[in-house]
Amino acid sequence: MSNDDEMVGYRQQPGKLPFSRPGSGGKNQFSELRDIQLIPESQGGKKHQPKGDHRHDPLISGTSIGKSTALVDSKWKVTGKANYGDDIRLSNELIGKIVRSPHHYARVLSIDISKAVELEGVIAIATGADAQNSFGVLPVTKDEHAMAIEKTRHKGDLVACVAAIDEITALEAVRLIEVEYEVLDSIHDMRKGLDDSEYPIHDRGQYHIGESNVQKRVFQEFGNIGEMIPNSVANHKSNWLFAGVNHGFTEPHAVVADWDPSGRLTLYTPQQVPHYVHRALADVLEIPMHQINVYRTFVGGGFGGKSDPFPHEMCAAILARKSGRPVRITFDREEVFWVNRGRHPSRIEMDIHADSDGRLCGVQTDALIDGGAFASFGHVTTYYNGVLHTAPYELGAFHYTGARVWTNKPASGAMRGHGAVNSRCAVEVGLDDIAEQLSVDPITLRLANLLPPFSATITGFRITSIGMRECLEKVKKASNWDKKFRQLPLGHGIGIGCGFFISGSGLPIHWDPNKFPHATVHLKIDMDGGVTIHTGAADIGQGSDTVVAQSVAEVLGLPLDMIRVRSRETDTSPVDLGSYSSRVTFMNANAAISAAMEIRKDLLKAASIITETEIEKLVIGDRRIFDKQDPAIGVSYLEALHKAQEDRGALTSSGSYRTPPMGRAHKGAAAGLAPAYSFSAYVAEVKVDMETGQTKVLEVWAAHDCGKALNPLSVKGQIIGSCHMGLGQVLSEEMKYSRGGDLLNPDLLDYKIPSIHEMPKVNPIIVESNDLEGPFGAKEAGEGPLLPILPAVCNAVYDASGIRVNELPITGDRLYKEIEKKCKILKISNPLNLPNPSLIHSDLQTVLESRASKHSERDLERILSEEKTPYHNGALFGMNPEVPGDEQDSRWEIRVIPDDQYLSNPRLAGSAWRHVERRKRND
């Protein structure tokens, strides 16, 4: 301020600015008054809060949150100015190409590069000898190398790489490199991975499970399943086979490595998780992390497929180091399938038991998952296949055995809905079957078995907000369920499926020591008034930059055109764990809010000094800070900012987020633990051509509880996009392998991603449960929405045809085979005469309905009450809700290691426990 005296009793004339300020000018020269419809009731506004207050209520300025917002980087994307991996063109660049193994499993005996070196234009060649250190996304399973050290483990595995002046020369050099292999016996059937093998695919050194290819095994027993099953009156049993699927992002992997004259490496890569690459590069190149800058380019789709540190990224760095020139490696579509990391091919056995009260007294799951050649996120995936279907229902007992095996295929990894998708499909289809056996409506069955808000699941996960009930009720109504279910003619059906997913993972993968926050966001504001956000959150198209910008904009009362997000480089952004496990909105927006709150405090203080009004009376609105009672007493944002800057120059702040302490202590208790969970319920309506087995999805009603839709446009986009991806998996997508183990369809012609014509109308329904810890109430919306579409379609196919297909995808020929089979069994010659499933409600239906409505009241009470009394899973079965089951009944003891009785007759994946775990090889 030039003259403090002028400021006394500062009252601004309407429409008049007392003086212009450096950096001012531009459009919208008048501030909009706060729209009281957007201000929560708790703050004196009119925004109805049926779910109670939220701790972020005082921060609402009505600027940005909850408004459909174009992605802040969308203008780059629509003009072709967005630079993805292969668009980074540095001067003097070389083109890198990779020599890949033609064998499924082989020992590399020798590599002769002499001819390739001679070729004009070849500048550098690297082999496994150039990078001996292993890496991997999880610190416990670093089983990958830049290039083969001793063995190649799948067709397409990296053996060597070349950098040359152009593509043609590089490819020619690849051809000239002669590799001598000793071919080993490969395994392709995941069941074989459970056996002892003469040459296990990985030697795990200190620790391994027998001589087998079992990479990870899990045994979990919660509650006494033996005692529960005899009570059951309905039992579902199924054996599922899920084909592997690939993310199918449109941008193939690409990377550019460049060592600058000071000897620092910049790696340009479309990564979801720059921080893990950062670490892996340091390991492999044997340089400290501060010598590396990982630059995240625009990412042309991730879905989990760009979240491992990749060997080709190491190769580019090694080649660039050797050649002294920038090196660019770009994959073609086939290579994308060779690195894969898609959803695991899985064999899942699902048993569900329900008692005469329609309670789910037992769930038993056995999941064998095919990890392919590398561990990737496998530890986590193995757990997720079990623990992520212990909610939203209250269970009497839960038993899970899971195993992940190495096979000689491209590695499986994390893909949208990580580890939860296949087993969720099996559970939800199982529930449909249970409902049919009990002659009740499947939606009612679900509504009568939901966990309440602020409860603990059987595995000890802390459920906070839960919008499951609302999701179910909304899709039921929107889809006109009661008029359609079991009432549509043969070949036309409707089905329901639900989902439950983590909103951020409670346990950061790489925090050793486990002391850092999960997410950190920095803000910088200088005299121009624009806000620079530094975050390491990787925008992969899901709109994380936008959500972080919106959060800051909301707190500071600014339009988005005054916010710029800098999230690309590890040199400038605070460390972030990356875009996986649906953590970004929850964690980064929370961190952004705390950073913005600091700036807000400074601004309010400055405004209070200028206007001589107590801070408590001031509110932030559209680019102005003013007295709640009298808007004329106030200052512009820029005035307050300049005042706040007087002593210290630019305002900076740092905010961070860490998860609260939660969960239990048994082995594996942290897997699946999250600060909040999302819920969803979908109804799908399908047509099945009974004479060809062809399924067409007509319409989907998709309700998802995302806590609070910060950007409804994006939430809807995520829901519809998830439907699209899930529909691919359930109806057409499949990585097909020949009997000899060859991948038959590494291209987008034979790997069938739904086109516009296969896409039904999706009606996204946003449910807002207002999570108390979420940023403005928000939870995830990126992965959870994928889960319900698979079972909804499977159940709809059953409703249409009376046939349960337990092998995905449900292609025409697969379904037709089942139709034929059924015709034969029923001795019906024309499939159009097959019986249609029907439903006449049993007495249980009314029992369930009244339980559901009682529970609905209970839930609302729990949400609104100040005192949250504990509710542990098991209360529905007469246990004391205040304490976990195992603490009140010794029979409920949690077991994580099988006993001899189990081992005498293990299930498929459970048989992985036959092997003796060894801490040291050969002892």
Partner 1 sequence: MSRFRLPMIPASDEVSWTSKINNVDFSTTIASNSILLDVLRNKGGSLGTKRGCDLGTCGCCTVLVDGIPKLSCLTMAKEVEGSKITTVEGLSLGHHLHPIQETFAEYGGSQCGFCTPGFLVVISALLDENPNPNDHEIKTAIEGNLCRCTGYQQIIDSVKAASEIMLNNVKIEDSTSPKSDPHPGFNN
Block residue for tokens 């939606």: 443
Q: What's the chain's length in residues?
A: 923
Alpha-carbon gap, residue 319 to 322, rounded angstroms: 5
Tell me which of 262, 755, 829, 904 binds partner 1, using CB under 8 A: 755
Tell me which of 62, 311, 419, 543 binds partner 1, using CB under 8 A: 543
Q: Where are the beta strands (DSSP E) in 297-442?
A: 327-330, 346-355, 360-370, 398-405
Alpha-carbon gap, residue 181 to 177, rounded angstroms: 13
Among ligand FES, partner 1, none, residue 219 binds (CB under 5-8 Å by kind): none
Tell me which of 1, 6, 11, 29 binds partner 1, using CB under 8 A: 29
Tell me which of 252, 417, 493, 675 binds partner 1, using CB under 8 A: 252
Query: Is residue 12 at the binding interface for partner 1, with CB under 8 A as the rule?
Result: yes
Applying the rule CB under 8 A, the residues between 560 and 589 that interact with partner 1 are 561-562
Nearest distance from C-beta of residue 250 to ligand FES, angstroms: 4
Nearest distance from C-beta of residue 792 to ligand FES, angstroms: 24
Applying the rule CB under 6 A, the residues between 283 and 302 that interact with ligand FES are 301
Range in contact with partner 1 (rule: CB under 8 A) among 201-209, 275-283, 329-337, 770-778: 329-337
Among partner 1, ligand FES, none, residue 739 binds (CB under 5-8 Å by kind): none
- The pair of structure tokens assigned to 26 is 């531009």
Nearest distance from C-beta of residue 424 to partner 1, angstroms: 20
Among partner 1, ligand FES, none, residue 797 binds (CB under 5-8 Å by kind): none
Query: Is residue 250 at the binding interface for ligand FES, with CB under 6 A as the rule?
Result: yes
CB 286: neighbour CB atoms within 10 A? 10
293, 266 in Cβ contact below 8 A?
Answer: yes
The phi and psi torsions of 690 (rounded to 5 degrees) equal -65, -20
The phi and psi torsions of 220 (rounded to 5 degrees) equal -145, 130
Site string for partner 1, 823-842 (x = CB under 8 A): --------------------
Applying the rule CB under 8 A, the residues between 78 and 107 that interact with partner 1 are 78-84, 86-87, 89, 100, 102
Q: In whole angstroms, what separates CA 856 from the centre of its chain?
A: 29
Alpha-carbon gap, residue 178 to 693, rounded angstroms: 49
106/558 with CB nearer partner 1: 558
Nearest distance from C-beta of residue 748 to ligand FES, angstroms: 7
Nearest distance from C-beta of residue 24 to partner 1, angstroms: 3
Residues in contact with ligand FES, total (CB under 6 A)? 3
Q: What is the phi-psi region of residue 637: left when phi exceeds 0, alpha when psi lies from -120 to 50, beta otherwise?
A: alpha
Among partner 1, ligand FES, none, residue 185 binds (CB under 5-8 Å by kind): none
Among ligand FES, partner 1, none, residue 33 binds (CB under 5-8 Å by kind): partner 1
Tell me which of 638, 673, 684, 690 binds partner 1, using CB under 8 A: 638
Nearest distance from C-beta of residue 335 to ligand FES, angstroms: 14
Helix runs in 340-467, H state only: 378-387, 421-438, 442-447
Alpha-carbon gap, residue 449 to 851, rounded angstroms: 9
Tell me which of 250, 356, 629, 846 binds partner 1, using CB under 8 A: 250
Query: Is residue 529 at the binding interface for partner 1, with CB under 8 A as the rule?
Result: yes
CB 919: neighbour CB atoms within 10 A? 8
Tell me which of 20, 91, 738, 904 binds partner 1, using CB under 8 A: 20
Interaxial angle between packed helices 311-323 and 274-285, expressed in degrees from 0 to 180 and rounded to the nearest 10: 50
Among ligand FES, partner 1, none, residue 898 binds (CB under 5-8 Å by kind): none
Query: Is residue 52 at the binding interface for partner 1, with CB under 8 A as the rule?
Result: no
Nearest distance from C-beta of residue 250 to partner 1, angstroms: 4
Alpha-carbon gap, residue 248 to 857, rounded angstroms: 44
From residue 914, alpha-carbon distances to 318, 349, 399, 909 in Å are 42, 18, 18, 10
438, 445 in Cβ contact below 8 A?
Answer: yes
Alpha-carbon gap, residue 572 to 313, rounded angstroms: 21
Query: Is residue 252 at the binding interface for ligand FES, with CB under 6 A as the rule?
Result: no
670, 733 in Cβ contact below 8 A?
Answer: no
541/831 with CB nearer ligand FES: 541
247, 416 in Cβ contact below 8 A?
Answer: yes
Applying the rule CB under 6 A, the residues between 497 and 556 that interact with ligand FES are 541
Applying the rule CB under 8 A, the residues between 210 and 249 that interact with partner 1 are 247-249
Query: Is residue 74 at the binding interface for ligand FES, with CB under 6 A as the rule?
Result: no
Tell me which of 119, 171, 289, 507 binds partner 1, using CB under 8 A: 171
- How does DSSP classify residue 1? -
Best CA proximity match to 702, nearest among 727, 723, 677: 723
From residue 694, alpha-carbon distances to 690, 698, 733 in Å are 7, 13, 14
Question: Residues near 833 by Cβ (< 8 Å), separated by ≥ 6?
Answer: none
Among ligand FES, partner 1, none, residue 836 binds (CB under 5-8 Å by kind): none
Question: Residues near 746 by Cβ (< 8 Å), separated by ≥ 6?
Answer: 333, 334, 336, 337, 338
85/541 with CB nearer ligand FES: 541
Alpha-carbon gap, residue 105 to 404, rounded angstroms: 19
Q: Which amino acid is at 465?
A: S
Nearest distance from C-beta of residue 416 to partner 1, angstroms: 10
203/747 with CB nearer ligand FES: 747
Tell me which of 52, 58, 121, 559 binds partner 1, using CB under 8 A: 559
541/675 with CB nearer ligand FES: 541
Query: Is residue 636 at the binding interface for partner 1, with CB under 8 A as the rule?
Result: yes
DSSP 638-671: HHHHHHHHTTTSSEEEEEEE-PPS-S--STTTTT
DSSP 626-646: EESS-TTSEEEHHHHHHHHHT
305/541 with CB nearer ligand FES: 541
Among ligand FES, partner 1, none, residue 128 binds (CB under 5-8 Å by kind): none
Residues in contact with partner 1, total (CB under 8 A)? 103
Applying the rule CB under 6 A, the residues between 407 and 436 that interact with ligand FES are none
Nearest distance from C-beta of residue 541 to ligand FES, angstroms: 5
Alpha-carbon gap, residue 145 to 142, rounded angstroms: 9
Tell me which of 143, 258, 335, 771 binds partner 1, using CB under 8 A: 335
Block residue for tokens 């898609």: 342
Query: Is residue 358 at the binding interface for partner 1, with CB under 8 A as the rule?
Result: no
Range in contact with partner 1 (rule: CB under 8 A) among 112-120, 470-478, 503-511, 638-646: 638-646
Applying the rule CB under 8 A, the residues between 862 and 891 that interact with partner 1 are none
Tell me which of 631, 837, 881, 906 binds partner 1, using CB under 8 A: 631
- How does DSSP classify residue 87? G
- The pair of structure tokens assigned to 52 is 């109670």
Query: Is residue 762 at the binding interface for partner 1, with CB under 8 A as the rule?
Result: yes
Tell me which of 282, 549, 723, 805 binds partner 1, using CB under 8 A: 723
Query: Is residue 7 at the binding interface for partner 1, with CB under 8 A as the rule?
Result: no
61/449 with CB nearer partner 1: 61
Opening angle at CA 372, ends 140 and 367, nearest 5: 80
**For every residue of 682-740, which 3-state class applies, written as one string?**
EEEEEEECCCCCCEEEEEEEEEEECCCCCCHHHHHHHHHHHHHHHHHHHHHCCCCECCC
Query: Is residue 326 at the binding interface for partner 1, with CB under 8 A as the rule?
Result: no
Range in contact with partner 1 (rule: CB under 8 A) among 66-74, 236-244, 486-494, 496-504: 66-74
Applying the rule CB under 8 A, the residues between 290 and 309 that interact with partner 1 are 298-303
* Contacting positions for ligand FES (CB under 6 A): 250, 301, 541
